[in-house]
Chain A
Amino acid sequence: MRHVLSVLVNNEPGVLTRVSGLFSARGFNIESLSVAPVGDGSSSRITMVSHGDSQITEQITKQLNKLIPVIRVVDLTDGPHVERELMLIKVSAEREMRAEIMRIADIFRSRVVDATQVSFIIEVTGGSDKLDACLAMLSPLGVVEMVRTGKVAMSRGEKKT
């Protein structure tokens, strides 16, 4: 089963290695991982997506909690939550293709953030399905380069993670 974990940690050197080390020590893949400082910068929030049965994930959650700099671990998969990811796509865009690319960008409510005579960079945010779909539409037109962030996630409603 796929799990989305939100991990709040003290923002200190080495903490990411400690967290990711727990996964590699048990031979699990981390599908995606994103980190950035939050609040006054004294803590960071890590969002990680991984696969495993619930016993394994329970063990990982406990092990994460056991790390000294880890403040809180929440498995968001259990409840309603919002997931977002950002993608930048560079497509080659010459003459007659340019309008077509803009149209596709529009459909996905994405934006062109860089334009040259021969290329566009398009920024898309959303769930992974949407990003995949956008990529699929643009691929035949000549994707030069692509980069995606890991997922970030937050539970819906009043609940705090």
Chain B
Amino acid sequence: MKLNGAEIFVQCLQEMNVRTIFGYPGGAILNIYDEIYKAKFLRHILVRHEQGAVHAADGYARVTGEVGVVLVTSGPGATNAVTGLATANMDSIPIVCFSGQVSSSLIGNDAFQEADTVGITRSCTKHNYLVKKVEDLARIIREAFYIARTGRPGPVLIDIPKDILTQKTEHVYRDGRVDIPSYRPTIEGHTGQIRRAVKLMQKAQRPVIYSGGGVILSNAAPELTELARILGAPVTNTLMGLGGFPANDSLFLGMLGMHGTYEANMAVTRSDLLIAVGARFDDRVTGKVSEFAPEAEIIHIDIDPTSVSKNVKVDIPIVGDVKHVLSKIVELVKESTFRKQKPDYAAWWGEIETWRRRECLKFNQDDRVIQPQSVIKKLHELTQGNAIVVTDVGQHQMWAAQFYGFERPRRWLTSGGLGTMGYGLPASLGAIVAKPDEQVFLISGDGSIQMNIQELGTARQYRLPIKILILNNSFLGMVRQWQELFYGRRYSETDLSDMAAPDFQKLAEAYGATGLLAERPDQIEPVLRQTMETPGMVIAEFRTNRECNVYPMVPAGAAMNEMILL
């Protein structure tokens, strides 16, 4: 059957089983929009800014595990998408982004709305394509989806010149399977290395499991949990790994790193075996690298060979899919003598208990002013840990990570690697589009929410019942915290008080949402309850203690056990 480029686009999406895409139209991509108008199977969500489209697709991908799909026009449409792509790239989120491009004959001529999209996005995508011939289009789309979701997942961009959309070629329907000889990710780990890893586990006395986003991405939470329980070893998650191990398990130490718990950071520092699973030793986790886990032998399981021994020297690297490798390890551990002669970690747990008794997440209670931490604790209590929690970037993000216990994967959405303010609102839209029956809470700051606030329009248009909690400290809080601690309290350009923010209740009204306000601690619970019970979109503002800090804190460049505690 002969089809034109725009028709091939729609056909391929159908092949790939795509049901939802996020986008924004424009001249270069109009032919595709015309086909979308006719395609019954496809739901297009019109955002208000292309950055929002990519974050929404990202949120969709994080909760479903499927590829998020984005459609933007050429030039400004594509450049607006860049922050979203970079965010997804850092957090390894599978996305396919289609961008329109000026007609082939105009490329390179500074045509209207032309940008070198492939050049601009080269370093913030896993791979990208410029379609040169309509005959290549279907193959490229199939490859893009395959590349996005396999190996270490990531965003892939396809730039399509306008004339390709009207040219015709023979189209053959196929399932999405492709073979790219130069791209063959390693799935199974090296058996010898796995054996050696199990041996190390058997002789360790102070092991710690340190797990990251890779566990979530490869759906390996059950395997991780099983391994931890068989070993009886303590587990700590990175920011991206939260939910990969149940937070209410007694083996859980909380998050590690810059704002990790005292017990997690101390345990890693004292450990003699660190089992790193789908985590990449980010500088926010390691602190001063030379003093990171100085006594430990390190096992590192990761699908991406470039992550291994990049920041920290590893004793046993195992390249492969985390789920595969962990199930192999569990199998071996079960077969081995491990079960009978279980290593005795009593002394180790004794040490850990003394660190736990420090209660590093305690915060000052006050009956006049709302402590932001208590809002999140209460939210956890009222939702029984069942909500999907999305955040922006800043103090509220860290408090959400510290105080909302995640028992399951894919229910915690945050921009970890890039730290993108403005991620939260559009990502929460993507999440609720994917999971309309779940409760989706966005926890944001007064600064972050204003960075993509136009997406309230999207929420309104599609009646997306997200619950937005704004922890309003009238500051760019996290930056203010650094200014307080490291810049002599000189709050340069971080004060958002005095008419610097909109009236959030009125704003809610303007977008057809319900606006709520809590100013005193005794209002936290009623406002949260009302937020949950009110149908439709709710914006609940909590005026919080202005100068509350996130503790514990490892100052940048310090060792992990050099924490500032409250």
* Stretch with Cβ within 8 A of A (4 or more), from B4-12, B305-313, B439-447: B305-313
Residues on A with C-beta less than 8 A from B139 are none
B130 at the interface (CB under 8 A from A): yes
The smallest beta-carbon distance between A113 and chain B, in angstroms, is: 36
Residues on A with C-beta less than 8 A from B132 are 13
* Stretch with Cβ within 8 A of A (4 or more), from B179-187, B251-259, B365-373: B179-187
Docked Cα-Cα span, A87 to B181, in Å, equals 36
A70 at the interface (CB under 8 A from B): yes
A142 at the interface (CB under 8 A from B): no
A18 at the interface (CB under 8 A from B): yes
Residues on A with C-beta less than 8 A from B183 are 68
Check B118–A14 contact: CB distance below 8 A. Answer: yes
Docked Cα-Cα span, A138 to B41, in Å, equals 74
B127 at the interface (CB under 8 A from A): yes
The smallest beta-carbon distance between A70 and chain B, in angstroms, is: 6
B304 at the interface (CB under 8 A from A): yes
Docked Cα-Cα span, A17 to B310, in Å, equals 23
* Number of A-B residue pairs having CB atoms within 8 Å of each other in the complex: 35
Docked Cα-Cα span, A67 to B147, in Å, equals 11
Check A68–B147 contact: CB distance below 8 A. Answer: yes
B122 at the interface (CB under 8 A from A): yes
Residues on B with C-beta less than 8 A from A9 are 182
Residues on A with C-beta less than 8 A from B181 are 71
Docked Cα-Cα span, A69 to B123, in Å, equals 15
What per-residue 1/0 map shows which CB atoms of A38-67 lie under 8 Å from chain B? 000000000000000001001100110111
- Write the chain B residue with the least CB distance to A17: B122
Check B182–A10 contact: CB distance below 8 A. Answer: yes
- Write the chain B residue with the least CB distance to A18: B122
A127 at the interface (CB under 8 A from B): no
The smallest beta-carbon distance between A63 and chain B, in angstroms, is: 5
Check A68–B309 contact: CB distance below 8 A. Answer: no
| Contact status of A58 and B309, CB under 8 A, knowing A13-B130, A66-B304, A71-B182 | yes
| Contact status of A68 and B127, CB under 8 A, knowing A59-B306, A59-B310 | yes
What per-residue 1/0 map shows which CB atoms of B163-186 lie under 8 Å from chain A? 000000000000000001111000
What per-residue 1/0 map shows which CB atoms of A9-23 lie under 8 Å from chain B? 110011001100100
What per-residue 1/0 map shows which CB atoms of B294-319 lie under 8 Å from chain A? 00000000001110011000000000
Check B306–A63 contact: CB distance below 8 A. Answer: yes
Docked Cα-Cα span, A68 to B306, in Å, equals 14
Check B305–A66 contact: CB distance below 8 A. Answer: yes
The smallest beta-carbon distance between B154 and chain A, in angstroms, is: 10
Residues on B with C-beta less than 8 A from A14 are 118, 122, 130
Docked Cα-Cα span, A9 to B183, in Å, equals 11
Residues on B with C-beta less than 8 A from A58 are 309
Docked Cα-Cα span, A14 to B157, in Å, equals 14
Residues on B with C-beta less than 8 A from A36 are none
Docked Cα-Cα span, A65 to B307, in Å, equals 13
Check B182–A69 contact: CB distance below 8 A. Answer: yes
- Write the chain A residue with the least CB distance to B147: A68
- Write the chain B residue with the least CB distance to A72: B182
What per-residue 1/0 map shows which CB atoms of B110-134 lie under 8 Å from chain A? 0000000011001100110010100
Docked Cα-Cα span, A58 to B311, in Å, equals 12
Docked Cα-Cα span, A55 to B309, in Å, equals 9
Docked Cα-Cα span, A126 to B323, in Å, equals 51
Docked Cα-Cα span, A10 to B182, in Å, equals 8
Residues on A with C-beta less than 8 A from B309 are 55, 58
Docked Cα-Cα span, A69 to B143, in Å, equals 12
The smallest beta-carbon distance between B283 and chain A, in angstroms, is: 15
The smallest beta-carbon distance between A21 and chain B, in angstroms, is: 6
Check B182–A21 contact: CB distance below 8 A. Answer: no
Check B122–A65 contact: CB distance below 8 A. Answer: no
User: Told that A13-B132, A17-B122, A67-B127 touch, could you supply 13 new A-B pairs with CB distance under 8 A?
Assistant: A10-B182, A14-B118, A14-B122, A18-B122, A25-B123, A55-B309, A59-B306, A62-B305, A63-B306, A68-B127, A68-B180, A68-B182, A70-B182
Minimum-distance CB pairs A-B, first 7? A62-B306, A71-B182, A68-B127, A62-B305, A68-B183, A63-B306, A66-B306
A-B contact pairs, 21 of them (CB 8 A): A9-B182, A13-B130, A13-B132, A14-B122, A14-B130, A17-B119, A17-B122, A21-B123, A55-B309, A59-B306, A59-B310, A62-B305, A62-B306, A63-B306, A66-B306, A67-B127, A68-B126, A68-B147, A68-B183, A71-B181, A71-B182
- CB within 8 Å of A: which residues of B? 118-119, 122-123, 126-127, 130, 132, 147, 180-183, 304-306, 309-310
